[in-house]
Chain A
Amino acid sequence: MSLSRFLIRRTAYSIFVLLGLSMVIFIIARIMPGDPARMAVGARAPQWVVDRIRTHMHLDQPLPVQYYYWLKDALQGDFGLSLITQRPVTNDIKEFLPASLELVILSALISSIAGIGLGILSAHYKDTWIDNLVRVFSYTGIVTPSFVFAILFVLVFGFTLDWFPIIGRISDNLTAPPLHTGLITIDSLMAWQPKVFIDAIWHMILPAMALAMGSIAQAARITRSSMADNMSKDYIAAARTLGVPERLVSGRLLLKPSLIPTISILGLDIAATISVAFLVELIFNWPGLGRYGMTAMLHKDLNAISAVILIFGAIFIIANIIVDLVVAYLDPRIRLRAARSD
């Protein structure tokens, strides 16, 4: 099976899964007690307005029909009005999503570099104090929930040491660059405001670290164990005996295959940090989609909740496809297996 057919099949299945997810979300939104029509117009609106809204929102129709209309609107990017902001949910998402993406991307960078780096270090110095230190660290990272990290970071690096700011995306004395992408780092570079760029990165470090800690630990642990496994394999010994340069042995022969399990786990972990961002954004008062979604949940803002979950689901699914593709690219065995089974 070629990579493109693999991709097509994977995408088609993902669309099915997303449709299923939308159905689950629709059902969740409908099990909520209370009348959506009444909630949309407020408690003081006269009954005839409520009735008219009910007809307008197709709430007088059977559930499958309601789902059809809801999905049709959602596909056109119309999730209705948000109860909290009184704006179309789509506008809110456009405003809040970039901030979350920026955070998740930085945290992904941190966790890949630090996680794989620590893993290599640990495997290279196997059974020395460096290895033990990394292993203790990764155990701690795995057992500590990210919101606990967030609070400890705020306390230690924010308040006590005062190294990093703990609230918002940029300092008050700076003005945000004109919006193009919504990602302050990229916008500030486009407008060539290096000071804003550095300030924005500075604001992102603590929340991104809090998000990344779990995946750093996980990646370090897996890289270490898979490198340690491969180190004792015959092909490495054979390559060394045949006089293959050490750089090639440890780089291409040892590192590349050892990274495959790390990448598949790391990819899923990074995609899952989106959900953890819900809490971390709340703690750092980060104006992202997680905080928006959380506020929506606490206020039972159904349109916003549905949209946020659907978008996070889509991001998670896309991330999964990308991970599969990268792993298939790196690991010829998977491609071969797929080709045989096809």
Chain B
Amino acid sequence: MNKVTPTDHPFNSNITLEQISSLERASQRDNIGRAWYKFSRNPMSVVGLSLVVSLILLAIFAPYIAPYPKHAGPFTDFPNAKTPPGLDYLFGTDQIGRDVLSRIIFGLRSSLLMGVVVLVLVVPPGVMLGLLAGYFQDTWIDTVSMRITDIFLAVPPLILALAVASVLKPNLWNGMLAVSLMWWPWYARLVYGLTTTLRNESFVSAAEVAGASTWHILFREILPNTLSPILTKISIDIAWVIIIGSMLSFVGLGVQPPEPSLGTMIADGSRYLPDQWWISVFPALTIVLIVLGFNLMGDGVRDMFASEES
């Protein structure tokens, strides 16, 4: 790390631009190093991160990793149906002879896609609404948007998501839409709370007095200070969105067969309990593994930001 001595302090006129930018780069490298140190101090966070990364890699390279890629589609092999787990089929085969392991690997795709797409859809509008309502506290913008938020928060998101999904055509994209419609209020509420506190901070007043535009205050002064709680919430929420997505497909309102999805596999497989337990139990354990990975990683993200503030 470059040591800052009085002679090369940025305010000293002798310093060159190159020196400043190299100092900045060093401090950025430093920040990343410090963040990683805080994240990895708890070994479980690293376990979570590795779990998440491996699951994502499995999903991306599913066609090359899955032992029977063809089984992810409309494939039947009745002579080998309901084969218990063994060397040929590590997790056994389902009621029409498809390899459960291959279908799980392909099923990861829709689960992870659900988590990512929903959060990409809900975070920007939720954050935007929270920022506006919080900054214009006690105006009509606050009243209208926060009362609407309260209405959506009044019911567990699963129920409304099920209701919306049920009136739309059941498929993965409408499932994502249904969950997204119910998820933005959580971000609006979170950012609203943070913004109402931040707007009274002296740096915001300073910017106001200096004549900064509302736009500048919202996005340059307030938003950067809300990022760490938002990122922490995102890292925890992905798991919940994936659970809700699997619940939708479990009841038949999400991904449609023959497209593999963990929820559908559990639902179909539960009809063959207890004799062919592997058809439903392995997909169920996979969901637990996904959620565990994201939760452990989320804890790490929280540690990373929490210690930064203290």
- Binding-face segment, A27-35, A49-57, A119-127: A27-35
Most chain B CB atoms below 10 A, which of A144, A158, A312? A144
Residue A292 at the B interface, CB < 8 A? Answer: no
Q: Are B147 and A16 in contact (CB under 8 A)?
A: yes
Q: Are A142 and B295 in contact (CB under 8 A)?
A: yes
Q: Are B163 and A143 in contact (CB under 8 A)?
A: no
Residues facing B in A12-65 (CB within 8 A) are 16-18, 20-21, 23-25, 28-29, 31-32
Residues in chain B near residue A326, CB distance under 8 A:
none
Residue A128 at the B interface, CB < 8 A? Answer: no
Contact with A along B231-273 (1 / 0, CB 8 A): 0000000010001001100111100000000000010001001
Residues in chain B near residue A24, CB distance under 8 A:
151-152, 160
Residue in B148, B252, B266 whose beta carbon sits within 8 Å of that of A148 in the complex: B266
Residue A278 at the B interface, CB < 8 A? Answer: yes
Q: Are A298 and B154 in contact (CB under 8 A)?
A: no
Residue B6 at the A interface, CB < 8 A? Answer: no
Residue A313 at the B interface, CB < 8 A? Answer: yes
Residue A81 at the B interface, CB < 8 A? Answer: no
Q: Are A282 and B273 in contact (CB under 8 A)?
A: no
Q: Are B160 and A155 in contact (CB under 8 A)?
A: no
Q: Are B273 and A151 in contact (CB under 8 A)?
A: yes
Q: How far is the CB of A191 from chain B (nearest CB, A)?
A: 34
Residue B230 at the A interface, CB < 8 A? Answer: no
Residues facing B in A239-294 (CB within 8 A) are 271-272, 274-276, 278-279, 282-283, 293-294
Q: Are B287 and A145 in contact (CB under 8 A)?
A: yes
Residue B117 at the A interface, CB < 8 A? Answer: no
Q: Are B154 and A275 in contact (CB under 8 A)?
A: no
* Also in contact, A21 and B284, with CB within 8 A (given A29-B167, A143-B295, A300-B167): no
Q: Are A32 and B277 in contact (CB under 8 A)?
A: no
Residue A159 at the B interface, CB < 8 A? Answer: yes
Residue A317 at the B interface, CB < 8 A? Answer: yes
Residue B121 at the A interface, CB < 8 A? Answer: no
Q: Are B156 and A274 in contact (CB under 8 A)?
A: yes
Q: Are B250 and A147 in contact (CB under 8 A)?
A: yes
Q: Are B159 and A312 in contact (CB under 8 A)?
A: yes
Residue B65 at the A interface, CB < 8 A? Answer: no
Size of the B side of the interface (Cβ < 8 Å), in residues, is 39
Size of the A side of the interface (Cβ < 8 Å), in residues, is 48
Residues in chain B near residue A158, CB distance under 8 A:
274
Q: Are B291 and A144 in contact (CB under 8 A)?
A: yes
Contact with A along B157-195 (1 / 0, CB 8 A): 111101111110000000000000000000000000000
Q: Are B154 and A297 in contact (CB under 8 A)?
A: no
Residue B292 at the A interface, CB < 8 A? Answer: yes
* Also in contact, A144 and B288, with CB within 8 A (given A159-B273, A278-B162, A297-B166): yes
Residues in chain B near residue A145, CB distance under 8 A:
243, 246-247, 287-288, 291
Q: Are A159 and B163 in contact (CB under 8 A)?
A: no
Q: How far is the CA of A31 from the CA of B178 in the complex (A)?
A: 13
Residue A200 at the B interface, CB < 8 A? Answer: no
Q: How far is the CA of A272 from the CA of B280 in the complex (A)?
A: 25
Residue B88 at the A interface, CB < 8 A? Answer: no
Q: Are B291 and A18 in contact (CB under 8 A)?
A: no
Residue B281 at the A interface, CB < 8 A? Answer: yes
Q: Are B247 and A147 in contact (CB under 8 A)?
A: yes
Residues in chain B near residue A330, CB distance under 8 A:
none
Q: How far is the CA of A333 from the CA of B155 in the complex (A)?
A: 28
Q: Are B163 and A147 in contact (CB under 8 A)?
A: no
Residue A316 at the B interface, CB < 8 A? Answer: yes
Q: Are A151 and B247 in contact (CB under 8 A)?
A: no
Q: Are A148 and B284 in contact (CB under 8 A)?
A: yes
Residue A338 at the B interface, CB < 8 A? Answer: no
Residue B30 at the A interface, CB < 8 A? Answer: no
Q: How far is the CA of A271 from the CA of B157 in the complex (A)?
A: 12
Q: How far is the CA of A327 from the CA of B190 in the complex (A)?
A: 22
Residue A222 at the B interface, CB < 8 A? Answer: no
> Closest chain B residue to A282 by CB distance?
B251
Residues in chain A near residue B288, CB distance under 8 A:
140, 143-145, 148
Q: How far is the CA of A22 from the CA of B28 in the complex (A)?
A: 51
Residue B150 at the A interface, CB < 8 A? Answer: yes
Residues in chain A near residue B284, CB distance under 8 A:
148, 151-152
Residue A209 at the B interface, CB < 8 A? Answer: no
Q: How far is the CA of A25 from the CA of B251 in the complex (A)?
A: 20
Q: How far is the CA of A266 from the CA of B243 in the complex (A)?
A: 20
Residue A208 at the B interface, CB < 8 A? Answer: no
Closest 6 interchain pairs by CB?
A20-B151, A159-B274, A297-B166, A275-B156, A32-B167, A143-B291
List 17 A-B pairs, Cβ < 8 Å.
Answer: A16-B147, A17-B151, A18-B154, A20-B150, A24-B151, A24-B160, A143-B295, A145-B246, A152-B281, A152-B284, A154-B273, A160-B274, A272-B156, A274-B159, A297-B253, A312-B156, A313-B159
Question: A18-B154, A142-B295, A272-B156 known; 13 other A-B pairs, CB under 8 Å?
Answer: A21-B154, A28-B163, A140-B288, A143-B292, A144-B288, A147-B250, A148-B266, A155-B277, A275-B157, A278-B251, A298-B166, A302-B167, A309-B159
